[in-house]
Structure 1
Amino acid sequence: MTAPETTPARSAIRRNYNYITSWVAASYGFGPEADLPALVLLADLVADQLGYGPTRRAVYDARGEVMQVGDGGEVRFHVVVPPNQGRVWQTRVQDVVASFADQPLSDAAFQEQLRRYRGIHLLRLSSPEARARETARALFRSGGRERTPLALEPVTAERLRAAAQALEPPVLVFLGPTTAGRAD
């Protein structure tokens, strides 16, 4: 089974709403040969770099997730920002993903990020129900051969880079106010 073909709209769909935020989404497709553990790590690292922080206080929310559809799927990122910053963050999402494809993280930086990522995911597996759910997903993905949750599979900096390079160009979605016929 393969992922269904998707094509973005040929032109922007515009509606007048009273917006208090801008929502930016970027969906990067991937094929059946994708490195899922590396993509899960990539989604987490990109969301972390886009999320709220001392230099990004205008970010209300940022998330990254890997969605499998058939033999392929997509890595999807969502960012919620003030109304006048939507277009800036649309570019920022693409830049952060591209930075992981351009060159691998240094070994020290990668190991630090990997420890943090695994720690967060181990906390998510603290209940028996969560562990059972992740084991069932791993068994389903592998056709009954593998029980290791994706977050715990070994990933290298080079695999992370290769996974980022293999992503298809993104489909971008913007929901927010427009001025003079253009989204801000």
Structure 2
Amino acid sequence: MPLNDIKRYLKTGLFPRVPALALAAAMAMIATTAHALPDDREQDFQLQADKQLFDQKNGLVTYTGSARLQQGSLIIDAERIVVHFKSDNSVAKIEASGSPAHFEQQPQADKGKVFAEAHEISYDHDKRTVTLSNSAKIEQDGAIMQGHSIHYDLARELINAQSDDNSNERIKMVIPAGATEK
């Protein structure tokens, strides 16, 4: 559904369809930015949760209780998913939280699935960043990165992992033996 149709639904107050459609538009941006499988961008979004709250005044849509978003190979499972809108009804940020929240996606047909988890996952549309906070972990093709937080700048293709200042836990990286021989 085109973004203009989503904005029209927001203005008319058709609450049941707006949250799923707005979230679909937001996640389509993520899938495009992350270079997902071409088929992912063509798939319908499916969203399930036990509860939904649409706070039109503050531009928030909150899904709680075993929230799941799926579009093609993209799957986000969390206890809570929140979509933040700007005053022009475009998506500003998407947040997922859980104990932990999970993300998975097949980025390319010839690559293994990316699995990520953290207690908080945040995607900032304007800055084009994804931040995994509080027990963050990313895994693909046997390679694993763990730390208190992992910040990925999609535009600059930079990954910044941090340890927790309040503990002795350090950043951990596992690179499969076969990967070093290629």
- TM-score normalised to the size of structure 1? 0.26
- TM-score normalised to the size of structure 2? 0.26
Pick the structure with more strand per residue: 2
Pick the structure with more helix per residue: 1
